[in-house]
Amino acid sequence: MNDTLNTLLNHVSVREYLDRKVDDETLNLILKAACSGSTMGNMQLFSIIVTQDEAMKQKLAPFHFNQPMATKAPLILTFCADFRRFNRYCEFRDAETEAYSNLQSYQWAVTDALIAAQNACVAAESLGLGFCWLGTITYNVDKFIEVLNLPKHVIPVACIPIGYPVAKPALTQKLPMEALIHRETYQDYDKARIDALYADKENSSETKGILAENPDCENLAQVFTKHRYTKADNEHFAEVLLEALKKQGFLR
Amino acid sequence: MNDTLNTLLNHVSVREYLDRKVDDETLNLILKAACSGSTMGNMQLFSIIVTQDEAMKQKLAPFHFNQPMATKAPLILTFCADFRRFNRYCEFRDAETEAYSNLQSYQWAVTDALIAAQNACVAAESLGLGFCWLGTITYNVDKFIEVLNLPKHVIPVACIPIGYPVAKPALTQKLPMEALIHRETYQDYDKARIDALYADKENSSETKGILAENPDCENLAQVFTKHRYTKADNEHFAEVLLEALKKQGFLR
């Protein structure tokens, strides 16, 4: 087991941060790691917005539903799928400027941005920092586009608050690894297999605690569909995302 | 500089592999790392298809345009955005089964799958293995869905051939880091800034070599838009992706 694997296998999300700044040298290492990953055709189809200013955090906070991670972290990195820079390069070199105004190009840029984001996370964790991913970035994508002043062909896809952990939480309980792995072709899930794969999770004290807080739910699945991520909410935010894809020029 | 940062900052894509298998213990560490990353609401919205069988590699190869990485790597990992397992869990627990049939849910699953993929890459590189990302996975997504037998709510988003490197290539030339970083809000690119940011790349011997092979192009931008990733190809593959999103149940 090398140090890198040790970092990767011991990942935990951290949601409470000490009141301690991330210094420039540390930030620089995290950004360098983010910019060192694979990228489609070496086009580097992403941008990173660094938020350290308190006033900016306050402006962004409502669209992160005022989660404390978004207001209390000393540093927030927002990773954007970005074809703007490359398209501007094409424009200033008399090359076709509408080659990348489509969903395929968006998918490439999302990939580049998420590779960069995960590299930043691994780097941060190796340096003793903690972070968590904010799903809200893809919910209120229209608002983030406005506040961060993102032009056409730029869409935020990941938002990572980073800081020194108040405490190191325990590892999260996951499904057994075989739930996620398929050999050669996809092996679909029948009821017996789902029951077996979810058994430990359903019987955990964590799940029992969640169910105690949600007496209208018989099981964890219902907590998700009735409360955490409902059909109505998801369909609403899907519309917002679709509109943003159109507005930012990735869907005609 | 710790070992993890050393792995991240020295990443190179490797396209030629020794004729040497990846043993089960090593594969297992890579898969464990892939499954240890952040995931939306701990839903683990991804699956990994492990390809080691020669007959499967041959079946997949044409859709990777027979690139040697896809035929000669001892191991190929295909990462799928996967809401199927969670939806089946909901189905078998009398929870709403159509909450995650939308583009927002696809975006979450893409994120989970790409976090897993990048973790696998970092783990592999830390173990002395090499890899590269195959963009073809999102081009011919319909064909991969068929050959890998992917059900509704599963879409492949990353494909990574892995093997022991024949040689360790030099680091790729990237844009200067400030090209990718924005402080607080997005700073758009005018011609002077694009000229400055792309200057080293345009003047490199690598670019000069590419231009010598493409005498109909005046610059690198034109090589991309005229030959590598053309408007017509991208728009075609965007249609294929859009159709797959509909067929797999993420867009009504």
Rounded to a whole number of angstroms, the distance from the CA of A47 to the nearest CA of chain B is 5
Give the side-chain half-sphere CA count within 13 A for A170.
4
Q: Which residues of chain B does A126 touch, with a Cβ-Cβ cutoff of 8 Å?
A: 2, 4-5
pLDDT on residue B1: 85
Whether A36 sits inside 8 A of B9 (CB atoms) is yes
What CA–CA distance (Å, rounded) separates B79 from A203? 29
pLDDT band at A77 (very low <50, low <70, confident <90, very high): very high
**What is the token pair recorded at A25?**
């040298």
pLDDT on residue B95: 98
Q: Which residues of chain B does A13 touch, with a Cβ-Cβ cutoff of 8 Å?
A: 38
Enumerate residues 6+ apart whose C-beta is below 8 A from A13.
A130, A131, A132, A133, A169, A172, B38
**What is the token pair recorded at B28?**
């297992």
Burial class (CB in 10 A: 0-12, 13-18, 19+), B66: exposed
Write out pLDDT tens, residues B149-170: 999 999 999 999 999 999 989 9
Q: Which residues of chain B does A154 touch, with a Cβ-Cβ cutoff of 8 Å?
A: 186
Is residue B181 within 8 A of residue A46, CB to CB? The reply is: no
Q: Give the torsion through C-alpha atoms of B161, B165, B167, B171, to 10 deg.
A: 60
Rounded to a whole number of angstroms, the distance from the CA of A205 to the nearest CA of chain B is 15
Whether A7 sits inside 8 A of B4 (CB atoms) is yes
Sign of CA dihedral B74, A34, B64, B252: positive
3-state DSSP assignment of residue A116: helix
**What is the token pair recorded at A70?**
């978004």
Whether residue A221 is predicted with pLDDT greater than 90 in this model: the reply is: yes
Strand arrangement of the beta sheet that strand A181-183 belongs to = A181-183, B46-51, B75-82, B154-163, B130-131
Rounded to a whole number of angstroms, the distance from the CA of A166 to the nearest CA of chain B is 19
Q: What is the mean pLDDT of residues A53-68?
A: 97
Whether B110 sits inside 8 A of A108 (CB atoms) is no
Strand B75-82 to B46-51 pairing: antiparallel
Is residue B2 within 8 A of residue A127, CB to CB? The reply is: yes
pLDDT on residue A50: 98
Is residue B95 within 8 A of residue A221, CB to CB? The reply is: yes
Q: Which residues of chain B does A161 touch, with a Cβ-Cβ cutoff of 8 Å?
A: none
Q: Which residues of chain B does A230 touch, with a Cβ-Cβ cutoff of 8 Å?
A: 96, 99
Q: What is the mean pLDDT of residues B204-208?
A: 94
Q: Which residues of chain B does A121 touch, with a Cβ-Cβ cutoff of 8 Å?
A: 37-38
Whether A229 sits inside 8 A of B41 (CB atoms) is yes
Is residue B46 within 8 A of residue A114, CB to CB? The reply is: no
Q: What share of chain B has pLDDT > 90, as a percent?
A: 98
pLDDT on residue A1: 85
Q: ipTM score of the complex?
A: 0.98
Partner residue facing A11 (CB), from B1, B37, B47: B37
Rounded to a whole number of angstroms, the distance from the CA of A21 to the nearest CA of chain B is 16
Partner residue facing B194 (CB), from A89, A135, A147: A89
pLDDT on residue A83: 98
Residue of B107, B159, B228, B242 to mutate when probing chain A, most A C-beta within 10 A: B107
Q: Which residues pair with B51 in a beta bridge?
A: B76
What CA–CA distance (Å, rounded) separates B109 from B157? 10
Write out pLDDT tens, residues B119-156: 999 999 999 999 999 999 999 999 999 999 999 999 99
Q: What is the mean pLDDT of residues A86-109?
A: 98
Nearest Cα residue in chain A from B245: A103
Q: Which residues of chain A does B183 touch, with a Cβ-Cβ cutoff of 8 Å?
A: 49-50, 52
Nearest Cα residue in chain B from A10: B36
3-state DSSP assignment of residue A165: strand
Q: What share of chain A has pLDDT > 90, as a percent?
A: 98
End-to-end CA separation in angstroms for chain A = 49
CA distances from B227 to A108, A118, B62, B220, B221 (A): 17, 31, 20, 10, 10
Strand A181-183 to A154-163 pairing: unpaired
Is residue B9 within 8 A of residue B172, CB to CB? The reply is: no
pLDDT on residue B198: 98
What CA–CA distance (Å, rounded) separates A187 from A250? 34
Q: What is the mean pLDDT of residues B64-83?
A: 97
Instruction: Show the DSSP H helices in chain A as ranges.
Output: 3-9, 24-34, 54-60, 68-72, 84-91, 103-126, 136-139, 141-147, 191-202, 205-213, 220-223, 231-247
Partner residue facing A103 (CB), from B9, B115, B238: B238
Q: Which residue has the tokens 């679709």?
A: A242
Whether residue B252 is predicted with pLDDT greater than 90 in this model: the reply is: no
